[in-house]
Amino acid sequence: MYGILIREGVGRGAWKNIGDYVQSIAQKQFLKDKETCFVEIEKLSEFKSEEPVNVIMNGWFMWHPEMFPPSPCINPLFISFHLTPSKEKDFFTPETIAYLKKYEPIGARDVRTANMMKAHGIDSYFSGCLTMTLGLDYKQDKEHDGDIFIVDPYMELFGDSDVHGLKRVWKYLGLVWHAIKYFRKVWKLKDKYINTTSSVFGRISLKLDEFICTADYYHIYSKRFSDEILLNAKYISAIVDNYMSNDEKFALADSNLRDYANAKCVITSRLHVSFPCLAVGTKNIFVIPSEKSEGEMKNYTGRVGELNDTVTIMELRDGKLQDKGTTLPEKITLANFPENKVGYRKYFDQLIKTVEKFISNNK
């Protein structure tokens, strides 16, 4: 039997990152003819089965490191494994280190996880993310003639998280000016753009808050992206209702992947949008915070290492979207939207070989 890792998000509030289910779908595509069951990532040590269960251990680990190592009935393949840095101290107990050494080398989704493993004496390598293989099921043999998608475009209030004192007051006035200056454009975007930044005037008026945050977004992104893209895009978020059933979450993740596979282009701050787009050949740009914004960058450190030859990256720095690792057009349109890099292919081939070998050895 095979297990499919899921993170249902029980006890994690009303919202859920659907990217966890994209990771699960990346496993499912290899297991179509296999008997499967669900294995909850946050309860690995409590999992029970009367027979061995083979599990591809990819994805984001974990809110509850006390639930690791996994149950003895689990036979793991550690690949595309990401450990959140904030849990490093709690995760690497003597028991966990001994367990992981039994299954080394550990395939890490990012450089930082690989380095954490090595620092604790565990052999590890950078494997890339299993979602880079989603082209196996989702790549289409036709032109990308669907919608433009903008998925959680990265933003900081004022375009910079490090704004205080009189500078902050001046920035507030700038936001109001942007709302006036771009009124017609922002009016078209106000019911489409999904604001994930801090509140500006939320205590006074939620609608005013949304309008001004949308104006701030348009002010920054319109400097690098054409209105053809920004005003015609479909805006969606990877953060969804956590109270949906597993079937509903899988269905939503599947629907999103099919949309990305058909999209003209995608702009996102979500790796589990960018990587599947690479896999299906959809042009995409990955937007990250500035390296100087330590509060934000700590969530990205290591995640973008080794990706300069793989993902087209832009960085929000000092209120401007700036190129990172690649020189892009000053104003990006549908006509000159950059082609994807091809570096992911070296990880694609190795990921497939590693997973297929694991399945072949555990029939």
Q: What is the mean pLDDT of residues 21-48?
A: 95
Confidence of residue 289 (pLDDT cuts 50, 70, 90): confident
Q: What dihedral do alpha carbons 285, 286, 289, 290 form, nearest 10°?
A: -60
Q: What is the mean pLDDT of residues 11-30?
A: 90
Q: What tokens appear for 128 in the block?
A: 């890339």
pLDDT at 161: 56
Q: Domain check: are 226 and 332 in the same one?
A: yes
Considering only 235-239, 244-248, 298-302, which range has the smallest mean pLDDT?
Answer: 298-302
Q: Domain check: are 283 and 169 in the same one?
A: yes
pLDDT at 57: 97
**Position with higher pLDDT, 343 vs 31:** 31
Q: Domain check: are 339 and 351 in the same one?
A: no
**Position with higher pLDDT, 25 vs 177:** 25
Q: Domain check: are 206 and 328 in the same one?
A: yes
In the chain, how many domains are there?
2
Q: Domain check: are 208 and 99 in the same one?
A: no
Q: Domain check: are 31 and 57 in the same one?
A: yes
Q: Where are the alpha helices (DSSP H) in the chain?
A: 19-28, 88-91, 94-102, 111-119, 135-138, 165-181, 183-189, 206-221, 227-230, 246-262, 271-280, 294-297, 344-360
Q: Domain check: are 24 and 48 in the same one?
A: yes
In this predicted model, what pLDDT tens digit does every residue of 334-347 receive, in sequence order?
999 999 998 888 88
How many Cα atoms within 13 Å fall on the side-chain side of residue 222? 16
Confidence of residue 242 (pLDDT cuts 50, 70, 90): confident
Residues 325 and 313: beta-carbon distance below 8 Å: yes
Residues 340 and 283: beta-carbon distance below 8 Å: yes
Please give the C-alpha separations between residue 285 and each of 1, 135, 175, 187, 337, in angstroms, as whole numbers: 38, 18, 26, 25, 9
In this predicted model, what pLDDT tens digit does every residue of 45-69 receive, in sequence order?
999 999 999 999 999 999 999 999 9
The average confidence (pLDDT) of the chain is 89
Q: Domain check: are 164 and 308 in the same one?
A: yes
Q: Domain check: are 161 and 280 in the same one?
A: yes
Q: Domain check: are 330 and 352 in the same one?
A: no
**To which residue do tokens 């995409």 refer?**
284
In this predicted model, what pLDDT tens digit does every residue of 109-143 receive, in sequence order?
988 899 999 999 999 999 999 999 999 999 988 89
Asked if pLDDT for residue 13 goes beyond 90, the answer is no
Asked if pLDDT for residue 225 goes beyond 90, the answer is yes
pLDDT at 343: 86
**Position with higher pLDDT, 351 vs 160:** 351
Asked if pLDDT for residue 306 goes beyond 90, the answer is no
Q: What is the mean pLDDT of residues 329-356?
A: 94
Full domain range(s) for residue 112: 2-131+347-360
Q: What is the mean pLDDT of residues 296-307?
A: 55
Q: Domain check: are 297 and 234 in the same one?
A: yes
Q: Domain check: are 202 and 78 in the same one?
A: no
pLDDT at 131: 96
In terms of Cα–Cα distance, which of 27, 71, 32 is closest to 53?
Answer: 71
| DSSP strand pairing (53-61 vs 284-289) | unpaired
pTM assigned to the model? 0.91
